[in-house]
Amino acid sequence: MEALKKKIIDEGIGIGTEIVKVDSFLNHQMDVAFLEQLGQAFAERFAGEKIDKILTVEASGIAIACMAAKSFNYPKVVFAKKMAPNTMTEGFYQSEVKSFTKGTVSIIRVAKNYISKGEKILIIDDFLAHGEAAMGMVDIIEQGGAQVVGLGAVIEKEFQGGGKRLADGGIRVESLAVITSIMDGNIQFK
Amino acid sequence: MEALKKKIIDEGIGIGTEIVKVDSFLNHQMDVAFLEQLGQAFAERFAGEKIDKILTVEASGIAIACMAAKSFNYPKVVFAKKMAPNTMTEGFYQSEVKSFTKGTVSIIRVAKNYISKGEKILIIDDFLAHGEAAMGMVDIIEQGGAQVVGLGAVIEKEFQGGGKRLADGGIRVESLAVITSIMDGNIQFK
């Protein structure tokens, strides 16, 4: 998506070889009008698919998932939680998510009520890196007996392998911008 | 707001005397079409105010803040972060937020870039309880030399005192539903 590539070039900051910082419009400050355009782009990519629900993970996936919902004619959006809140009193599905950058393992959870057998669920997230969060969400959807329609990522860092890993697992991946390398502040796109 | 009160009565679950669980539409699963209506209600409450930016706090404030942005003609939305991510390389404003239910103190942060001197900022959040998160956001806005337009909360638990505390501090509070007590699963509204 050209408008996104331009936005990343104009506002994104490459850090080291692994990180692109886009917190002026995507994951700290949010340009909601622009996120609507991204949502529309996801709807075009997945046109013709039946989408009963959108699943994302807190925190920075929430905005783009909600803005995308509009373009998919308002399916419910669920975000997986990284901490079990005191209101999560009933059963939940959970999956382990490893963070390569932080070297930690965390658990994401979705209440069983919000994944129904046979539902067709689209995963939406801001970044696709190693694919750990996405694989965790796939796992949760499958635990609930629902079906993964695919994964829509705003930015895929192709060199971190998550896209290939998901595709190898039979998951359709649609990334609106694909970064092939980050070096000396220079961001290269596919 | 009657539609919200009805939704809380139909779908909300009162737990003990302090908690109302609304995770079917607000803070785990999100009914985005309904959140748009709530956003519109905030725009009506704050009609005539100049709003340069909306500030909220992760994670469950993000959806409602983004959906409200549309009704305010798309000001940028910023969410305060509860953890300092590895991409937060520059300076930030921070404030301590005490959790009464958990007995913990956490720190919320906003990058200095995203609060500008003189900006008029509206705080939006899902819940107003003791007012700790809201006071933290007021503190951050004031550190940045910006102005607090007010606080819009979807649900205020009036008996926890946050609304009074903010009003006593000169902050305009607009809550779309005000709960006066929770007992034996019974939720009472003002």
CA-to-CA distance for B71 and B176, rounded, in angstroms? 15
Interface size, chain A vs chain B, as Cβ–Cβ contacts under 8 Å: 109
pLDDT at B167 over 70: yes
- Among B10, B56, B54, B58, CA closest to B31: B10
Tell me whether residues B87 and A32 touch, CB distance under 8 A.
no
Of A139, A77, A1, the closest CA to residue B63 belongs to A77
Of B28, B69, B114, the CB nearest to A114: B28
CB atoms within 10 A of CB A39: 23
Report CA dihedral (B80, B85, B88, B89) to the nearest 10 degrees: 160
Judge whether A161 and A146 are in contact, CB under 8 Å. Answer: no
Average pLDDT, integer, range B142-166? 98
Please give chain A's pLDDT, 190 residues, in tens: 999 999 999 999 999 999 999 999 999 999 999 999 999 999 999 999 999 999 999 999 999 999 999 999 999 999 999 976 666 666 999 999 998 777 889 999 999 999 999 999 999 999 999 999 999 999 999 999 999 999 999 999 999 999 999 999 999 999 999 999 999 989 999 9
pLDDT band at B178 (very low <50, low <70, confident <90, very high): very high
Q: Measured between CB atoms, which of B19, B33, B59 is closest to A62?
A: B59
Query: CA of B5, closest CA in chain A: separation in Å?
Result: 19
Q: Look up the ipTM and state it.
A: 0.95
Inform me whether the C-beta atom of residue B127 falls under 8 Å from chain A C-beta atoms: no
Burial class (CB in 10 A: 0-12, 13-18, 19+), B181: middle
Residue B87 has pLDDT above 80, yes or no: no
Q: Return the SS3 of A169.
A: coil
Three-state secondary structure call for residue A65: helix
Quickly state the pLDDT bin for B104 (edges 50, 70, 90).
confident
Which residue from B35, B112, B50 is spatially nearest to B80, judged by alpha carbons?
B112
CA pseudo-torsion sign B3, B6, B12, B15:
positive
Nearest residue on chain B to A115, judged by CA atoms? B29
Q: A66 by DSSP, 3-state: which?
A: helix
User: What percent of chain B shows pLDDT beyond 90?
Assistant: 91
Report if pTM > 0.80: yes
How far apart, in whole angstroms, are the C-alpha atoms of residue A8 and residue A21?
Answer: 9
The whole-number pLDDT of residue A89 equals 60
Q: Phi and psi dihedrals of B87, rounded to 5?
A: -95, 0
Query: Which pLDDT band, with edges at 50, 70 and 90, does B62 fall under?
Result: very high
Helices (H), A26-125: 32-45, 61-71
Q: What pLDDT, on the 0 to 100 scale, is given for residue A93?
A: 96
Cα–Cα distance for residue pair A86/A74, rounded to 1 Å: 28
Give the per-residue pLDDT at B35.
Answer: 98
Quick check: helix, strand or coil at residue A89? coil
| Section B115-119 average pLDDT | 98
The predicted pLDDT at position A99 comes to 83
The string of DSSP codes covering B3-66 is: HHHHHHHHH-EEETTTEEE-TTTTSSEE-HHHHHHHHHHHHHHTTT---SEEEEETTTHHHHHH
Q: How far apart are CA B13 and CA B124, in angstroms?
A: 23
